[in-house]
Amino acid sequence: MVSPGLMKEFQRILGKEQVFLEETDRATYAYDAAVLEPVMPAIVLRPKSPEELGQVVRLCHENGLPLTMRGAGTNLSGGSIPGRGGAVVLTTALNNILEINEADLYAVVQPGVITAKLAAAVEAKGLFYPPDPGSMAVSTLGGNVAENAGGLRGLKYGVTRDYVMGLTFFAAAGETVKTGSRTVKCVSGYNLAALLVGSEGTLGVISEIILKLIPPPATSKAMMATFDTVGKASETVAAIIAHRIVPATLEFLDNFTIRTVEDYSHAGLPVDAAALLLIEVDGHPAVVAEEAEKVEAICRQQGATQIHIAKDATERDRIWSARRSALPALAKLKPTCVLEDATVPRSKIPAMIRALEEISRKFDLTIGTFGHAGDGNLHPTILTDKRNQEEWHRVEAAVEAIFEVALELGGTLSGEHGIGTAKSRFLEKEFGKGTLLYSKRIKAALDPNHILNPGKIIGE
């Protein structure tokens, strides 16, 4: 797919050692964290500066070579799988934090900066970058922006898009596009930054990101409430919000997930509980004390059998590391782990959980359910083996049933992971023909040679 002439051009721009052609090198970049068929890239490129990145984009455009940007490849919907097997362009060498502005509360970063690295750098200055996707220890900010990554703190603090103040990116033909500003308010021109966020690399190639920072909460309190029915736990989620309390985090784990996490991490979770809620409130000490008390009272009213409040930072960390181990723990049980993220209005969480139990029975599948209950964003996780074709067909039918019930409940196909290729064919069901048509017009106008991460969101 890559002619010798084009390859030489890439080598000239980037240096030979930043152009990877060997099959063993390329194979690493054929997949991401989604359960989808790998696609072998034709070439892997590693630009070391925005200028090199721009030249790569221009060359790909001129030669009709598909281009898929890749951060850490933790994507859960296939966004990092190189559609049509073109070039995978790595952001690993574009990893500088360019500025942390304490006076104006923003940071400027290159796309390859690791999320946790920025969070730590910002924390060291007494500031706070809230978005905390599950993979933040390795995920990159470029990937977070391209996928509009969520996280555990979404309920109170919002997701990545709520922190993107501005972007610099390359249009398909390599022109530099600047959008947004270092100011907290900007209505100058179209909000192209907001269009690019979550567009999965299909409308431009991000080279620089301006991110909003905020003052950190003074303190926090984490607690764990145990329930003897899933229904009571899910009703409690709605009751907390109905009391006008917005915790920083409000997570749900069902019994299957609790037992699996406990086997994996020995965190001391109550393995007989039907469900757990993990809740954190944060802010001013007076607010934290008051909200924690209210949340505890609501949990008791709703029939929690036990409520454990973390006594110190160690206990708090244990609660959250147990929650963060849910996916790796479940993933160890079976060869294939299908993690969904269909999302419903919060008040529909009890109905969604009932539907998931029904789907598990109907298709005779093991589903562990956990996730961001406060956001209506659960992660039903189907444990299976893709090599078992008969079971895999039931998995596919179950996934489709999950999408359908989420839409019936007034929800959406994806709360966090994006559409990628995994959910592309369901998009019309959610929004109708008009939305697809409108989206395709944008894509065609902005990427006429159809080289930017082809096949994602709106399909081929």
Per the structure block, which two tokens stand in for 442? 């944008």
Name the β-bridge partners of 269: none
Among the residue ranges 64-72, 258-266, 283-291, 322-330, the one whose residues contact a second copy (CB under 8 A): 283-291
Per the structure block, which two tokens stand in for 320? 């959250």
Q: Quick one: 105 or 338, whose CB is closer to a second copy? A: 105
Q: Which of 4, 17, 23, 189 binds a second copy (CB under 8 A)?
A: 189
Instruction: Identify the burial level of 273 via C-beta atoms within 10 angstroms of its C-beta, where 0-12 means exposed, 13-18 middle and 19 or more buried.
Output: buried
Shortest separation between residue 261's beta carbon and a second copy, angstroms: 23
Shortest separation between residue 343's beta carbon and a second copy, angstroms: 5
Within residues 331-350, the interface with a second copy by CB under 8 A covers 343-347
Per the structure block, which two tokens stand in for 246? 């917005």
Q: Quick one: 120 or 286, whose CB is closer to a second copy? A: 286
Q: Which of 13, 100, 419, 452 binds a second copy (CB under 8 A)?
A: 419
Per the structure block, which two tokens stand in for 203? 């409308």
Within residues 239-258, the interface with a second copy by CB under 8 A covers 241-242, 244-246
Per the structure block, which two tokens stand in for 346? 């919060």
Q: Which of 9, 32, 52, 147 binds a second copy (CB under 8 A)?
A: 147
The greatest distance separating any two alpha carbons of the chain, rounded to the nearest whole angstrom, comes to 71
Contacts of 246 (CB under 8 A, 6+ apart): 155, 156, 374
Residues in binding contact with a second copy, number by CB under 8 A: 92
- The answer to whether 131 touches 144, Cβ cutoff 8 Å, is yes
Amino acid residing at 42:
A
Closest CA to 283 of 222, 213, 217: 217
Using CB under 8 A as the binding rule, whether residue 379 contacts a second copy is answered as no
Using CB under 8 A as the binding rule, whether residue 32 contacts a second copy is answered as no
Using CB under 8 A as the binding rule, whether residue 455 contacts a second copy is answered as no
Shortest separation between residue 348's beta carbon and a second copy, angstroms: 8
Q: Which of 8, 12, 16, 284 binds a second copy (CB under 8 A)?
A: 284
Q: Which of 5, 23, 185, 314 binds a second copy (CB under 8 A)?
A: 185
Using CB under 8 A as the binding rule, whether residue 47 contacts a second copy is answered as no
Q: Which of 412, 452, 453, 455 binds a second copy (CB under 8 A)?
A: 412
Closest CA to 454 of 82, 116, 168: 82
Q: CA 421, CA 418: separation in Å to the nearest integer? A: 9
Shortest separation between residue 18's beta carbon and a second copy, angstroms: 25
Q: Quick one: 249 or 384, whose CB is closer to a second copy? A: 249
Q: CA 148, CA 133: separation in Å to the nearest integer? A: 10
Amino acid residing at 62:
E
Using CB under 8 A as the binding rule, whether residue 453 contacts a second copy is answered as no
- The answer to whether 223 touches 75, Cβ cutoff 8 Å, is no
First to last CA, the chain: 18
Shortest separation between residue 185's beta carbon and a second copy, angstroms: 4
Using CB under 8 A as the binding rule, whether residue 387 contacts a second copy is answered as no
Using CB under 8 A as the binding rule, whether residue 187 contacts a second copy is answered as yes
Identify the H or E element spanning 192.
helix 192-196
Q: Which of 90, 171, 233, 319 binds a second copy (CB under 8 A)?
A: 171
Residue whose tokens read 């500025």? 99
Q: CA 106, CA 115: separation in Å to the nearest integer? A: 15
Shortest separation between residue 62's beta carbon and a second copy, angstroms: 17
Using CB under 8 A as the binding rule, whether residue 330 contacts a second copy is answered as no
Q: Which of 427, 452, 453, 454 binds a second copy (CB under 8 A)?
A: 427
Per-position x/- string for 90-129, each x denoting binding to a second copy as judged by CB under 8 A, each - no binding: -----------xxxxxx-------------------xx--
Among the residue ranges 21-29, 35-43, 253-261, 371-379, the one whose residues contact a second copy (CB under 8 A): 371-379
Q: Quick one: 182 or 354, whose CB is closer to a second copy? A: 182
Q: Kindly report the backbone phi and psi dihedral angles of residue 333, in degrees, each rounded to the nearest multiple of 5, phi listed first.
A: -70, -35
- The answer to whether 144 touches 119, Cβ cutoff 8 Å, is no
Q: Which of 431, 449, 450, 459 binds a second copy (CB under 8 A)?
A: 431
Q: Quick one: 170 or 320, whose CB is closer to a second copy? A: 170
Using CB under 8 A as the binding rule, whether residue 452 contacts a second copy is answered as no
Among the residue ranges 4-12, 28-36, 132-140, 430-438, the one whose residues contact a second copy (CB under 8 A): 430-438
Among the residue ranges 22-30, 39-47, 187-195, 226-234, the one whose residues contact a second copy (CB under 8 A): 187-195
Among the residue ranges 18-26, 225-233, 392-400, 428-436, the one whose residues contact a second copy (CB under 8 A): 428-436
- The answer to whether 134 touches 321, Cβ cutoff 8 Å, is no
Work out whether strand 366-372 and strand 249-254 pair parallel, antiparallel, or are unpaired.
antiparallel
Using CB under 8 A as the binding rule, whether residue 437 contacts a second copy is answered as yes
DSSP 28-94: TTS--SSSS-----SEEE--SSHHHHHHHHHHHHHHT--EEEESS---SSSTTS-GGG-EEEE-TT-
Q: CA 208, CA 98: separation in Å to the nearest integer? A: 9
